[in-house]
């Protein structure tokens, strides 16, 4: 299953102090809500350590954009602005497009098989109308695709981005939109086809279209009004 942190990958020079991961997960999964105060002293007591390691973790989270440290006032869980969400989806599109292209260039790798199996399971989830399972599979699909690009720097930046997007909550809302669920699965299949035919350009294009479509749904779900122009 997953590591202690939410979207974080396996490799890390320092073995990832559990503290940072646990705090990050609390934020990403919504255990603590935007605006909540994360006081060093209180956290230190909760985790039964001193303020120092807590403080270091909070500084990291600030760098990751998950919290805001207001000097001598407090550290607060941050909520991305609508603009930031839009910006991050642009980046998501670029990252996953790049990943699809790189994966297509690599050819037949284990990750490609994983993707095929993912779509098969997704098909069954769609038939059963199991939105919860499907949401999980969607996450796995994108995660596997990026991993398959075999580019650690890309993975690093991608994880950073997705943590800040607090992917789970936004996407699970998105998928409940009518029709989007079946569409999404078909698009995943199209992506696999493009990758399988070892056509990096096509793979990137299809992937980016897919992400753009999802993003639009997600943006709609996050905020009702706000009409955006779509590239094409």
Q: Does 42 participate in binding DNA (rule CB under 7 A)?
A: yes
Binding mask 140-179 for its own copies (x = CB under 8 A): -----------xxxx-xx--xx------------------
Per-residue CA distances from 61 to 51, 93, 107, 143, 224 (Å)? 15, 24, 36, 21, 29
Q: Which two tokens stand for residue 9?
A: 């990958």
Does residue 67 contact residue 78 with C-beta atoms inside 8 Å? yes
Buried b (16+ CB within 10 A) or exposed e, 23-57: bbbbbbeeebeeeeebebeebbeeeeeeeebbeeb
Which residues does 55 contact at the CB level (< 8 Å), separation at least 6?
Answer: 40
Nearer to its own copies, 91 or 131 (CB): 91
Q: Which does 51 bind (CB under 5 to 8 A by kind): DNA, its own copies, none?
A: DNA
The residue from 22, 55, 105, 116 that contacts DNA (CB under 7 A) is 55
Nearer to its own copies, 14 or 33 (CB): 14
Round to whole Å and give the CA distance between 208 and 27: 28
Q: Does 50 participate in binding DNA (rule CB under 7 A)?
A: yes
Q: Does 5 participate in binding DNA (rule CB under 7 A)?
A: no
Query: Which parts of this chain interact with its own copies (CB under 8 A)?
Result: 13-14, 55-56, 59-60, 62-63, 65, 68-69, 71, 84, 87-88, 90-91, 94-95, 97-98, 101-102, 105, 151-154, 156-157, 160-161, 200, 231
């Amino acid at each position: 299953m997953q590591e202690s942190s939410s979207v974080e990958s396996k490799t890390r020079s320092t073995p990832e102090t559990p503290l940072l991961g646990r705090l990050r997960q609390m934020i990403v999964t919504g255990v603590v809500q935007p605006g909540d105060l994360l006081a060093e002293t209180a956290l230190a007591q909760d985790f039964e350590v001193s303020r120092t390691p807590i403080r270091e973790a909070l500084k990291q989270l600030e760098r990751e954009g998950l919290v805001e440290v207001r000097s001598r006032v407090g550290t607060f869980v941050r909520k991305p602005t609508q603009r930031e969400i839009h910006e991050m989806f642009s980046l998501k599109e670029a990252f996953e497009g790049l990943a699809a292209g790189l994966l297509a260039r690599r050819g037949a790798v284990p990750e490609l098989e994983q993707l095929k199996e993912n779509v098969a399971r997704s098909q069954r989830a769609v038939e059963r109308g199991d939105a919860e399972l499907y949401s999980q599979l969607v996450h796995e699909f994108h995660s596997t695709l990026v991993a398959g690009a075999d580019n650690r720097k890309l993975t690093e930046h991608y994880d950073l981005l997705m943590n800040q997007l607090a992917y789970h909550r936004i996407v699970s809302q998105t998928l409940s939109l009518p029709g989007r669920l079946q569409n999404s699965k078909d698009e995943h299949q199209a992506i696999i086809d493009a990758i399988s035919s070892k056509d990096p350009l096509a793979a990137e294009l299809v992937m980016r279209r897919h992400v753009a479509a999802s993003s639009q749904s997600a943006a709609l779900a996050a905020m009702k009004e706000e009409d955006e122009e779509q590239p094409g």
